[in-house]
């Protein structure tokens, strides 16, 4: 056996949570070890080859603003980019890309291999070493022991993983990978609340067997959007199109006839699946009146013929999958390269975590990613970054940091998980955030990069670029504030002609920019005003001016709420001491042990009246 080696942080699992966790810990200066089953699968996308989308794109931008890798890797691997909701308000605009799986993995691995302070080692972890109430290391399958100040577990769908195709099932972490059964068994002996969830994936198809003439083409956007604030627009590879088809009534009949051999409908799967990403058999049963469902045919990469038919995730028996696929227009001769399947796995109730993502029961042990009940690469990566950072901060004796709900979707995600828990795989949506207008994709850097730099997550070149951008925005805002248009001048005449704006008194340019009918480009046409800024700076000046009123109102509301939001509640607080609380509320608070009054208020069933009672009690005893 090797001598026990000591690290400040050990991260277990090299998926999306694990890689961001290891990178964040190492970036912030901690000596870090990433232990994973297989170095070849670092950064592997278990399901669809896509990054971003509504809510998820926001997370990617925030990860990027904090120096994380997901956005940069997606920029390098993205083969079809789109800006979703481009014609809607800036709060819901979101970036999404179809990614070449192989290039994405390579980009992540390259970054990991070149990250100072980070060591990679290929081994399954079978057990945690726990002394008293503190984790002190891990034991691998070969019996190697590694000690650490903090351990981050990011083992995805692998804990007690069971793969289902029709009525047959077997143990696995995802298709082609072993499950982590030894670790699952050891964790079940600890006081965590463990539940089962399930998720699924569609069969993959050889693109050469598809008749594309029957499909609708969906090209990407031009100019090509990017995720990273550090993008120079030149890192994208060759761009290709996606395609669209639909299921048919015949395909639905085939699915219905196969339901008696579906593990979902024969009761073999007990875990709850993702509501917003249901299997095709689920859709056919739940929306019985629909005669077709849309399918996006997404390329898996530039150097492969395999495609991912997004929309027909299934765990039906293989013969049913084959017949169903061949009943879809364009797929009549389709050759399936990999069957679809569902996987059931253990997850831990995230209400047993702190906002730092440290577990409440074992000090120094952090959980991130799918094991906390979430679904999606972006949700996993976001948690990984925060858990890795806080694992490193704990190792150095520093206070934890997690963004607030009004600072980042990452804050919304973590706060939702730890205060409300989840009964089904949790995915991010913009509707989950109450301060949507503040949490835009376009300003993720302005919200987070300064803090990221202070935490050691953001390097000097990014910080310099960020500061230049921030200063340019402020300079331009100041300039527009000092420029005027007066009635009767040539500029006023031009405004009336091009923008329909009749001036009756002199106006500052920044005030004019707030008018819905005038945009930045129009104002820059005025004599003595243009040429102004371009790109992200012009966009930022425009958005901040246009939404000034709404943004200020949200800021006021946040300021009001924050007075109580951060009022700390003592550890292991005995809520029986607070007079007037109903027994239901008391039990909920005792079980959840929220860290702040704000968290307490978001626990389902805890009423505003209960919060007032707590506030009175804290003031009296405080
Ligand atoms: P993973 O990406 O699963 O990574 C876990 C890593 O830990 C792996 O590298 C594994 O090898 C390693 N590991 C596990 N156990 C050990 C151990 N004991 N020792 C060492 N290493 C270990 N998301 C969606 O948003 N939409 C979908 O439709 C969707 N469908 C999915 C379908 C399937 C079949 C699967 C498997 C996943 C699906 N997902 C989907 C989920 C998505 O893949 C995950 O949310 C995301 O990958 C989670 O990231 P993670 O880092 O938590 O875990």
Fold of 567-621: DNA polymerase; domain 1 (1.10.150)
Tell me what pLDDT residue 149 has. 98
Contact 96/52 with Cβ under 8 angstroms? yes
Tell me what pLDDT residue 2 has. 47
Of 38, 52, 158, 181, the residue with max ligand 1 atoms within 8 A of its CB, to mutate for a pocket test, comes to 158
Q: Mean pLDDT over residues 560-582, rounded?
A: 86
Question: Of 102-106, 266-270, 353-357, where does mean pLDDT reach its minimum?
Answer: 266-270
Percent of the chain with pLDDT over 90: 79
Tell me what pLDDT residue 3 has. 52
Q: Mean pLDDT over residues 239-254, rounded?
A: 97
Cβ-in-10-Å burial (0-12, 13-18, 19+) of 306 comes to middle
Q: Is 265 annotated as a binding residue?
A: no
Cβ-in-10-Å burial (0-12, 13-18, 19+) of 106 comes to middle
How far apart CA 351 and CA 354 sit, in angstroms, is: 8
The response to whether residue 204 sits with its C-beta less than 6 Å from ligand 1 reads no
Tell me what pLDDT residue 36 has. 97
Percent of the chain with pLDDT over 70: 99
Contact 374/161 with Cβ under 8 angstroms? no
What would the pLDDT profile of 381-393 be if each residue is shown by its tens digit? 999 999 999 999 9
The response to whether residue 252 sits with its C-beta less than 6 Å from ligand 1 reads no
pLDDT at 1 over 70: no
- The encoded tokens of residue 90 equal 């800036």
What would the pLDDT profile of 454-475 be if each residue is shown by its tens digit? 999 999 999 999 999 999 999 9
What would the pLDDT profile of 221-246 be if each residue is shown by its tens digit? 999 999 999 999 899 999 999 999 99
Question: How remote is the CA of residue 294 from the centroid of ligand 1, in Å?
Answer: 26
Q: What is the dihedral of CA 226, 227, 229, 235, to 10 degrees?
A: -50
Tell me what pLDDT residue 117 has. 98
How far apart CA 585 and CA 605 sit, in angstroms, is: 7
The response to whether residue 359 sits with its C-beta less than 6 Å from ligand 1 reads no
What would the pLDDT profile of 310-338 be if each residue is shown by its tens digit? 999 999 999 999 999 999 999 999 999 99
What would the pLDDT profile of 80-96 be if each residue is shown by its tens digit? 999 999 999 899 999 99
Fold of 204-343: Elongation Factor Tu (Ef-tu); domain 3 (2.40.30)
Contact 421/272 with Cβ under 8 angstroms? no
Q: Is 203 annotated as a binding residue?
A: no
How far apart CA 609 and CA 34 sit, in angstroms, is: 47
Q: Mean pLDDT over residues 360-366, rounded?
A: 96
The response to whether residue 19 sits with its C-beta less than 6 Å from ligand 1 reads no
Listed residue (223, 137, 576, 199) closest to 376, CA to CA: 199
Question: How remote is the CA of residue 472 from the centroid of ligand 1, in Å?
Answer: 41
What would the pLDDT profile of 139-183 be if each residue is shown by its tens digit? 999 999 999 999 999 999 999 999 999 999 999 988 888 889 999
- The encoded tokens of residue 435 equal 């301060």
Q: For the chain, which residues make up each domain, given as ranges?
A: 204-343, 474-561, 567-621
Distances (CA, A) of 442 to 15, 73, 226, 349, 467: 27, 19, 11, 33, 15
124 against 563, higher pLDDT:
124
Tell me what pLDDT residue 380 has. 98
The response to whether residue 183 sits with its C-beta less than 6 Å from ligand 1 reads yes
- The encoded tokens of residue 143 equal 């019996």
The overall average pLDDT reported for the chain is 94
474-561 matches 204-343 in CATH topology: no
pLDDT at 31 over 60: yes
Question: How remote is the CA of residue 274 from the centroid of ligand 1, in Å?
Answer: 14
- Peptide bond preceding 119 in cis form (omega within 30 of 0): no
Distances (CA, A) of 605 to 350, 356, 541, 583, 600: 17, 24, 42, 11, 10
Q: Is 284 annotated as a binding residue?
A: yes
Q: Is 275 annotated as a binding residue?
A: yes
What would the pLDDT profile of 64-74 be if each residue is shown by its tens digit? 999 999 999 99
What would the pLDDT profile of 519-562 be if each residue is shown by its tens digit? 999 999 999 998 999 999 999 999 999 999 999 998 888 888 78
Contacts of 622 (CB under 8 A, 6+ apart): none
Over the Cα atoms of the chain, what is R_g? 26
The response to whether residue 140 sits with its C-beta less than 6 Å from ligand 1 reads no
Whole-prediction pTM: 0.93
The response to whether residue 369 sits with its C-beta less than 6 Å from ligand 1 reads yes
Q: Per DSSP, which regions of 223-277 are E strands?
A: 242-246
Contacts within 8 Å (CB) and 24+ apart, 542-547:
542/513, 543/90, 543/440, 543/442, 543/443, 544/473, 544/477, 545/477, 545/480, 545/510, 545/513, 545/514, 546/513, 546/514, 546/516, 547/90, 547/437
Question: How remote is the CA of residue 156 from the centroid of ligand 1, in Å?
Answer: 4
Tell me what pLDDT residue 30 has. 98
Atom of ligand 1 at shortest range from CA of 140: 19
Tell me what pLDDT residue 579 has. 87
Quick one: CATH architecture of 474-561? Orthogonal Bundle (1.10)
């Amino acid at each position: 056996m090797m001598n026990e080696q000591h690290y400040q942080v050990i991260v277990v699992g090299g998926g999306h949570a694990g890689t961001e966790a290891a990178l964040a810990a190492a970036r912030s200066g901690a000596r870090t070890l990433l232990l994973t089953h297989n170095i070849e699968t670092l950064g592997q996308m278990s399901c669809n080859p896509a990054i971003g989308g509504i809510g998820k794109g926001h997370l990617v931008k925030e990860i990027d603003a904090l120096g994380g890798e997901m956005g940069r890797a997606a920029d390098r691997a993205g083969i079809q980019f789109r800006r979703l909701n481009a014609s809607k308000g800036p709060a819901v605009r979101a970036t999404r890309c179809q990614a070449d799986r192989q290039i994405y993995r390579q980009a992540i691995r390259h970054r990991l291999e070149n990250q100072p302070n980070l060591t990679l080692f290929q081994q399954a972890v079978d057990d945690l070493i726990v002394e008293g109430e503190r984790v002190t290391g891990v034991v691998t399958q070969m019996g190697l022991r590694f000690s650490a100040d903090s351990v981050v577990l990011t083992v995805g769908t692998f804990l007690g993983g069971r793969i289902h195709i029709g009525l047959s099932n077997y143990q696995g972490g995802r298709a082609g990978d072993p499950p982590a059964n030894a670790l699952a068994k050891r964790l079940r002996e600890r006081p965590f609340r463990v539940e089962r969830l399930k998720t699924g994936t569609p069969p993959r198809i050889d693109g050469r067997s598809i008749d594309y003439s029957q499909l609708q083409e969906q090209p990407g956007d031009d100019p090509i959007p990017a995720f990273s604030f550090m993008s120079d627009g030149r890192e994208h590879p060759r761009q290709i199109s996606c395609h669209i088809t639909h299921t048919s009534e015949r395909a639905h009949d085939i699915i219905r006839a196969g339901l008696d051999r579906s593990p979902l409908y024969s009761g073999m799967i007990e875990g709850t699946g993702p509501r917003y990403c249901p299997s095709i058999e689920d859709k056919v049963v739940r929306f019985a009146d629909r005669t077709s469902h849309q399918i996006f045919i997404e390329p898996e990469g530039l150097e492969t013929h395999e495609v991912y038919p997004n929309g027909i995730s299934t765990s039906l028996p293989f013969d049913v999958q084959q017949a169903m696929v061949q009943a879809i227009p364009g797929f009549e001769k389709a050759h399936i390269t990999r069957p679809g399947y569902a996987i059931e796995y253990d997850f831990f109730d995230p209400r047993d975590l702190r906002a730092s993502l440290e577990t409440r029961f074992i000090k120094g042990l952090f959980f991130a990613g799918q094991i906390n009940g979430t679904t999606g690469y972006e949700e996993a990566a976001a948690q990984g970054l925060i858990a890795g950072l806080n694992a490193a901060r704990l190792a150095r004796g520093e206070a934890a940091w997690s963004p607030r709900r009004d600072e980042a979707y990452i804050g919304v995600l973590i706060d939702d998980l730890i205060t409300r828990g989840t009964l089904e795989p949790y995915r991010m949506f913009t509707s989950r955030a109450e301060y949507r207008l503040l949490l835009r994709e376009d300003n993720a850097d302005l919200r987070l990069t300064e803090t990221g730099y202070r935490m050691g997550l953001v390097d000097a070149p990014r910080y310099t670029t960020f500061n230049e951008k921030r200063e340019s925005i402020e300079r331009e805002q100041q300039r527009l504030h000092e420029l005027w248009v007066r009635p009767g001048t040539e500029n006023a005449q031009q405004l009336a002609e091009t923008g329909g704006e009749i001036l009756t008194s002199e106006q500052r340019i920044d005030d004019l920019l707030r008018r819905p009918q005038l945009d930045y480009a129009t104002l820059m046409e005025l004599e003595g005003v243009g040429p102004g800024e371009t790109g992200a700076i012009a966009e930022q000046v425009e958005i901040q001016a246009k939404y000034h009123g709404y943004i200020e109102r949200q800021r006021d509301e946040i300021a009001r709420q924050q007075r109580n939001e951060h009022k700390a509640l003592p550890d292991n607080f005995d809520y029986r001491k607070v007079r007037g609380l109903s027994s239901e509320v008391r039990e909920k608070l005792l079980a959840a042990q929220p860290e702040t009054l704000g968290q307490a208020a978001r626990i389902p069933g805890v009423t505003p009246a209960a919060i007032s009672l707590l506030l009175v009690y804290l003031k009296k005893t405080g």
